[in-house]
Amino acid sequence: MRTENEALVDGTESSRSSGTASSGATANAADSAAPLSDAVALLFAVACGLAVANVYYAQPLLDTMADEFGISHAAVGLIITITQIGYGFGLLLVVPLGDILNRRRLVIGQSLLSVLALLTVAAAPSYLVLFVGMTAIGLLAVVTQVLVAYAAALAPAAERGRVVGVVTSGIIIGILLARTISGTLSDLFGWRSVYVVSAAATLVIAVLLANVLPRREDRSVSTTDPAMTYPSGRCSCCSSRSRCCAFARPWRC
């Protein structure tokens, strides 16, 4: 009888120790992702808004640019077209690099190159240089997509939706305010001042991001829902090697 009681006590203690170890491991995994503060999330939103605004600054300035560079008013729309083409190439070629390269270096590098592209447009002596600079601006403006994904990776799971919403709102505000800001600055100081001011603001944001972004990334921490991941590719519902229930899983209790 005593032997059975001792075995029961030993089993209880071992289960407690294993439970404590598992809870400690869970806590360590949760702490491995540093929480994204509201100030940093706001900085991400400002950076996204500023980057996407660079694509839309030129729209109120087309007539002024056409007069200065001798471009016909029928062809000056190419400035917007090549900017969007550059943006499309950025989505195809630059954004996927966020899964390969260090995202901190990628974001800061894109921001600094955007400064150079903006200054190139501001100092463009001919329409050819202007076109090259606008293409580079569009290509590098996809830093917004990298920042949104980066913010989602840095945010804790419980705060991820709110953080992504804050950062995405910065994109919308940047799109809405870009034309107003560029038109106002152009009327006051000339169209080139728009890109000089944007270059200065982008440089400031790049410096701030360099100071707050983590220097090392833990890519072992998944940003996906653990409930959506099945060991060895097997579905938890039907035990088959498929994801047939992947879409239904979030609505299951």
Q: 226 or 89: which carries more pLDDT confidence?
A: 89
What's the pTM? Answer: 0.73
Q: Cα 95–98–104 angle (5° rounding)?
A: 120
pLDDT on residue 24: 45
pLDDT on residue 37: 86
Q: Cα 218–88–55 angle (5° rounding)?
A: 95
Q: In whole numbers, what is the pLDDT of the chain averaged over residues?
A: 80
Query: pLDDT, tens digit, for every residue of 134-177?
Result: 999 999 999 999 999 999 999 998 899 999 999 999 999 999 99
Query: pLDDT, tens digit, for every residue of 167-202?
Result: 999 999 999 999 999 999 999 999 999 999 999 999
Q: What residue ranges do the domains of the chain occupy?
A: 36-212
Q: 216 or 46: which carries more pLDDT confidence?
A: 46
47 token code pair = 């950076």
pLDDT on residue 124: 96
pLDDT on residue 125: 95
- For residue 29, pLDDT over 80 is answered with no
Class of domain 36-212: mainly alpha
Q: Give, as one character, the DSSP assignment of residue 215.
A: S
- For residue 234, pLDDT over 50 is answered with no
